[in-house]
Amino acid sequence: MQLRDASPTDFAQILRLNAESEQFLSPLPLARLQRLHAQAAYHRIIESGPAVYAFLLAFREGCAYDSPNYQWFASHFDRFLYIDRVVVSA
């Protein structure tokens, strides 16, 4: 297993992982993942060979992220790291 930065070549597998746990998360269409990836302070995956088994997506203050949870942190703290998703394959 290896931890590394996510890249656009990982997006199909990231979307698959998100869909596996969508009942706990929100839907994540490709266009939204592309926007979030571009804004993320931390977007990492865990892979083994060609397979992605987990990902984490986090944002710093100052992002144009429309999540109500992120917006709560933005209105209460000057500096923060908001962890949006931690997804691990079943």
- Coil vs helix vs strand at 8: helix
pTM: 0.89
Boundaries of every domain in the chain: 2-88
Q: What is the pLDDT of residues 14-56, one digit of tens each?
A: 999 999 998 888 899 999 999 999 999 999 999 999 999 999 9
Strand order in the sheet with 81-88: 2-5, 42-48, 51-60, 81-88
What gap in Å lies between CA 55 and CA 59, rounded to an integer? 14
Strand boundaries in the chain, DSSP class E: 2-5, 42-48, 51-60, 81-88
CATH for 2-88 (3.40.630.30, 3.90.1420.10, 3.30.300.30, 3.40.640.10): 3.40.630.30
| β-bridge pairing 81-88 and 51-60 | antiparallel
For position 10, what pLDDT does the model report? 97
